[in-house]
Amino acid sequence: MWVYFIKRLGLSVVIIAVAMSILFVITHMIPGDPVSIALGPRATVEMKEEYRARMGIDLPIYVQYGRFVSNVLHGDLGKDVFSGLPVLNIVKSQLPHTVILVCVAIGWSATLGIILGCFSAVRRNSILDRVIGVITVGAIAIPSFVVSLYALLLFAVTLKVLPALGAGESGDIVDQLKHLVLPGFALGLGWVGYIARLVRASMLEVMGENFVRAARAYGLPERTIVARYALKIAIVPTVTLLGVGIGNMLSGALFAEIVFARPGIGKLIYDMVLIRNFPVVQGAVLVTTALFVLSALIADIVNSVLDPRVRANL
Amino acid sequence: MEPVLSIKDLSVDFSTPTGPIHALRRVNLSVPQKRIVGIVGESGSGKSTVVSAVMRLLANNANVRGGEIYFEGCNILAMKEKELRAMRGEDIAMVFQDPMTAQTPVLSVGQQMIDIQYRRSLSYKEKRQHAIEMLNRVGIPDADDRVDQYPYQFSGGMRQRISIAMALMMNPKLLIADEPTTALDVTLEAQIIHLFRELRKTFDGSIIVVSHNLGLIAELCDEVIVMYAGEVVERASVDDIFYRAAHPYTRALLNCDPARLGELTQDLPTIPGDVPDLQKVPAGCIFSSRCAEDFDTCAYQRPLMAAVTSAHEARCHLLSND
Amino acid sequence: MPISNTAVITQSRFSAYRQFFREPLGVLGLVLVVLLGLGAILAPYLTDYSPNAIDIKTRLAPPSSEHWLGADHLGRDTFTRVLYGGRVALKVAAWSISLALLGGLLLGMIAGYGPRWLDNLLILIFDAVRSFPTIMLALAIITLTGPSLNMVILVIVITSIPVYARIVRAQTMSLRESEFVFAARSIGTGWFRMLYLHILPNVIGPLLILASMDIPVVVTIESGLSFLGLGVRPPTASWGTVLADGYAYVRNTPWLLVAGGVPLILTTLGFTFMGETLRDIFDPTLKRRD
């Protein structure tokens, strides 16, 4: 089992490294003078020179790449163009907000999605199943940033039951939780749909397997069979979906943070894009990508714990 | 002595888009205490359907049209879900055909065996110990260690042994083995037969063995019930069936066994014709269209079970005529 | 997947049409998609307004007979802007999906046919590219280039190619092993014929399904970026910019938000229905048991 873990970890590190390199390549292939674009039409010659020196744009590309790699390995993701603060610190300060939001969204959507999916599978073709089917299609069809906007419209503006903007008073947990409701809901809604449908399909497949029939023949209670014998297997594709879907969810979190004016990586990136603060954007994107790769890794590891055959087949 | 299991007039249909399939029609059979009864028949004869009905594990499109199944005085077909669950695994247990899919792959063998004991108020350690004992009993080596392994780490033959161990865990009064060796090769089959023989010494319940393999039936069973196309056509002791078969189908079936051939031939004997379409059950004897000894009554009148001796009966007009 | 045989493929393609039209949801999806497409293409004929025509007098007007969906904060007719927004969506979808398909075909075949080390390298690159959330990558590039629809399309293509390429690669690799390909090559069949006769018929199903599920994602990405002001440049109408205006004026009128969001939802629904129906047809082994 440890062999599996080490192999996957190694692969993940390699992928992150390649991803960073690709980002480096792409950003250096952009036509035009990045300095003028970055600093805008009002930049003076001195500002441009200083920027060039700071960013090391004049040096040959492989030197730049080398500096880039060594910097990253030392935890230096560059410096904010305007304030000179280290990018890593800026990103680190905003990261927790996004992580909390994403965890809340996954938490409720996975729980509800799994429950709905199980019910649908166990009571297949009943009215409950069909209703859930319709609801899930609807939930999937609305892009998450549109859900954010509509949730804002409906609950904050029209009905005025929940706060619209911000993360709440720091120190006041209840207020912060209230501010998490709408963004968390908006971010998770589509996922409830995906997860419920996937769990339903997986459960139907597993419940038809011979060992479920055998388990019934041994007189095991249906509850045990569904929860421990069937669900444990059926949930594997869902875990994979979540692991891979984190990337999607991080993008969704970006929009949720902007719509609801919450602090976080997404809002940070957006604000920095507007003022062309590229190092921060680059750093944040790299951190996000690394998170994404790691979450896919975690999903694989969870699966290998759930289903021992995964370990054996690597 | 009261039989352990008593099936009376059991009729089961399967609904399909093109109409119901009359899979079982008024099947009667009983299993005496402490005996091994074999149900033999080709594919489609209904033998698996009968035992699935006993466990109430029929497919979703199955409908029980009539009859009763008596076990310890209660009609299984009238039981509620709770009573069924109490009965399954505890009083009646089943071993399935395909050992590779009979256990869940995500729990260890021991864990599954402990789960089966959920009705007992034993400690975890005691349940685990019982599981190890059962594994020993069915001949799994190193049971102490292997009890924590996962099903994929066992071979097919061993997994079938584990299935048998699981079925016998609660010491049921009736064990049903549905095609227990069909998925195994000949050497493994011999091992399972040997295992059954050994178990018989310590297991004091009754066993039903369902198979199309005459050899298996001959090795293991005391009594044999022959089924064809949803009906019981003959019932006798194992000797009577193999040496003094009364029903033309049984005789033809025995003749088809290559082991019985007296001389070298080019063609293996078969029974000409096809199994009738059970959506339109023909009138008369169900076997008449393929029978070598049929006469006019056979085509329009369904024969009743007629006695050959007190312990041997067959559903054939030839017997009533004598 | 079945080894292709041109006669068999022709037959199954024909019955695929028939099967598709038997599914009500699939047909509904197709209808939605066609309506949206027609709305976009015929936009100038369906409305008298220009999408950028400012009319302060009718600022933020609710729906009426003159403005079917109301007007935005500059008095521009929302319905018109939605129709023209459809054109942007159409342009993005058409360009990005076709380029991704082409790139996917090319790279997939190279990965499938080429030497092992090349395949491994390409797979590694694919995985690395896939590990960027598309929007994040787009934002990173836009930081340097400024808002640009073409950049958006480029980023979408870059992140989509790996997905398409995987399918083509899988089919190419399985084909590589098959005997009749060996026979075909031994009589000197060129790679173009190989592609056309043997690879394309087998990948077209999964690729169509993928494209169908991908289009709403692509359109949503464009809308999302335009919503942030980082996609199309103002005053161009896009569903995203309508939503942005709706967000800015959410306390004045709900209609802009509704008008911007509904076409997105319908696009997603339409293509999802079509895609699921296509999937049931082309790969019945994946069909849900119902």
- Domains of chain B are 5-91+172-260+267-320 (3.40.50.300)
CA A291 – CA A288 distance, rounded (Å): 5
> From A129, which residue of chain C is nearest by alpha-carbon distance?
C290
| Chain C contacts to A (CB-CB under 8 A) | 124-125, 127-129, 131-137, 139-146, 158, 216, 220, 223-224, 227-228, 230, 243, 246-247, 250-251, 254, 257, 260-261, 264-265, 268-269, 272, 288-290
Residue A211 contacts B where some CB pair is shorter than 8 Å: yes
Residue A37 contacts C where some CB pair is shorter than 8 Å: yes
H runs (alpha helix) in chain B: 47-55, 81-87, 109-116, 124-137, 143-146, 156-168, 186-202, 214-220, 238-243, 248-256, 296-300, 317-321
Q: What average pLDDT is seen over chain B?
A: 89
Helices vs. strands in chain C: H and E counts, helices first: 12, 0
What is the reported pTM?
Answer: 0.81
Query: Which residues of chain C neighbour A18 with C-beta distances below 8 Å?
Result: 124-125, 127-128
Q: What residues does B22 pair with on adjacent strands?
A: B13
Could you state, in order of their start, the residue ranges of all structural domains in chain C?
23-51+76-281
Inter-chain contacts counted by CB atoms under 8 A, chains A and B: 74
- For residue range C16-70, list pLDDT tens digits in order: 677 777 778 888 888 999 998 888 888 888 877 887 888 888 788 888 877 888 8
The whole-number pLDDT of residue C16 equals 67
Start-to-end Cα distance in chain C: 23
The whole-number pLDDT of residue A66 equals 77
Verify whether the Cβ–Cβ distance C145 to A30 is below 8 Å.
yes
Confidence of residue C5 (pLDDT cuts 50, 70, 90): very low
The whole-number pLDDT of residue A128 equals 86
The whole-number pLDDT of residue B123 equals 92
Select from C206, C227, C211, C223 the least CA-distant residue to C271: C211
Could you state, in order of their start, the residue ranges of all structural domains in chain A?
1-86+278-314, 96-263
Confidence of residue B39 (pLDDT cuts 50, 70, 90): very high
Confidence of residue C290 (pLDDT cuts 50, 70, 90): very low
Residue B93 contacts A where some CB pair is shorter than 8 Å: yes
- For residue range A166-213, list pLDDT tens digits in order: 766 677 777 778 888 888 999 999 899 999 999 998 998 888 888 999
CA C7 – CA B311 distance, rounded (Å): 63
Selected residue with higher pLDDT from B131 and C46: B131
Confidence of residue B262 (pLDDT cuts 50, 70, 90): confident
Query: Which residues of chain A neighbour C268 with C-beta distances below 8 Å?
Result: 140-143
> What CA–CA distances, in Å, run from B32 to A96, B7, B188, C38?
71, 12, 29, 77
Residue A23 contacts C where some CB pair is shorter than 8 Å: yes
Query: Which residues of chain A neighbour B51 with C-beta distances below 8 Å?
Result: none
The residue whose two tokens read 């720091």 is: A170
- For residue range C258-270, list pLDDT tens digits in order: 888 999 999 999 9
Residue A224 contacts B where some CB pair is shorter than 8 Å: yes
Residue A24 contacts B where some CB pair is shorter than 8 Å: no
CATH fold, domain A96-263, is MetI-like fold (1.10.3720)
For residue B243, which amino acid is it?
A: Y
How confident is the model over B16-37, as a mean pLDDT? 92
Is residue A75 within 8 Å of residue A69, measured between CB atoms?
Answer: no
List, as ranges, residues 203-262 from A with C-beta within 8 Å of C.
204-205, 208, 247-248, 250-251, 254-255, 258-259
Residue A30 contacts C where some CB pair is shorter than 8 Å: yes
How confident is the model over B30-43, as a mean pLDDT? 91
The whole-number pLDDT of residue A37 equals 57
Query: Which residues of chain A neighbour B94 with C-beta distances below 8 Å?
Result: 214, 217
CA A246 – CA A232 distance, rounded (Å): 21
Spatial neighbors of A197 by CB under 8 A, at least 6 apart, are A117, A133, A136, A140
Confidence of residue C284 (pLDDT cuts 50, 70, 90): low
Nearest-CA distance from B267 to chain A in Å? 38
CA A147 – CA A253 distance, rounded (Å): 12
Selected residue with higher pLDDT from C151 and C184: C151
The residue whose two tokens read 């166990």 is: A122
Q: What percent of chain B has pLDDT over 70?
A: 99
Q: What percent of chain C has pLDDT over 90?
A: 21
The whole-number pLDDT of residue C2 equals 42
Looking at the domain covering C23-51+76-281, what would its CATH class be? mainly alpha
Verify whether the Cβ–Cβ distance B89 to A214 is below 8 Å.
no
Query: Which residues of chain B neighbour A233 with C-beta distances below 8 Å?
Result: 104-106
The whole-number pLDDT of residue A19 equals 87
Is residue C263 within 8 Å of residue C82, measured between CB atoms?
Answer: yes
Top residue of A16, A20, A26, A189 to mutate, by most chain C CBs within 10 Å, is A26
> From A310, which residue of chain B is nearest by alpha-carbon distance?
B106
Q: Does position C90 have pLDDT exceeding 80, yes or no? A: yes
Half-sphere exposure of A21 (CA within 13 A, CB side): 13
Is residue C239 within 8 Å of residue C85, measured between CB atoms?
Answer: yes
CA A244 – CA A255 distance, rounded (Å): 19
> From B96, which residue of chain A is nearest by alpha-carbon distance?
A214
- For residue range A270-301, list pLDDT tens digits in order: 998 888 888 888 888 888 988 898 888 888 88
CA A50 – CA A15 distance, rounded (Å): 34
- For residue range B173-224, list pLDDT tens digits in order: 999 999 998 888 888 888 888 998 888 888 889 999 999 888 889 988 999 9
Question: How much helix, strand and coil, in percent to the nearest 5, is found in chain B?
Answer: 40, 25, 40
CA A17 – CA A13 distance, rounded (Å): 6
ipTM for this model? 0.85
The whole-number pLDDT of residue C286 equals 46
How confident is the model over C88-92, as a mean pLDDT? 92
Q: Does position B57 have pLDDT exceeding 80, yes or no? A: yes
Reading chain A (314 residues) residue by residue, the pLDDT tens digits are 677 788 888 888 888 888 888 888 877 776 666 666 555 555 667 767 776 766 666 667 777 777 777 777 777 777 676 776 778 888 888 899 999 999 999 999 999 999 999 989 888 888 888 888 888 888 888 888 899 999 888 887 777 777 777 766 677 777 778 888 888 999 999 899 999 999 998 998 888 888 999 999 998 988 888 888 888 888 888 998 888 888 889 989 999 999 988 889 999 999 988 888 888 888 888 889 888 988 888 888 888 888 887 766 54
Verify whether the Cβ–Cβ distance A281 to C228 is below 8 Å.
no
H runs (alpha helix) in chain A: 2-29, 34-39, 45-55, 61-73, 87-122, 127-141, 144-151, 173-207, 210-217, 222-224, 231-259, 265-274, 278-306, 308-313
For residue B30, which amino acid is it?
A: S
Selected residue with higher pLDDT from B1 and B45: B45
The whole-number pLDDT of residue C10 equals 44
Q: Does position C12 have pLDDT exceeding 70, yes or no? A: no
Selected residue with higher pLDDT from A6 and B38: B38
The residue whose two tokens read 């899988």 is: C170
Verify whether the Cβ–Cβ distance B104 to A211 is below 8 Å.
yes
How long a stretch of residues is chain B? 322
Verify whether the Cβ–Cβ distance B101 to A211 is below 8 Å.
yes
Minimal Cβ distance to A19: which of C128, C143, C289:
C128
Instruction: Note whether C touches B: 3 CB pairs or more under 8 A.
Output: no
Q: Name chain C's partners: 3 or more CB pairs within 8 A.
A: A
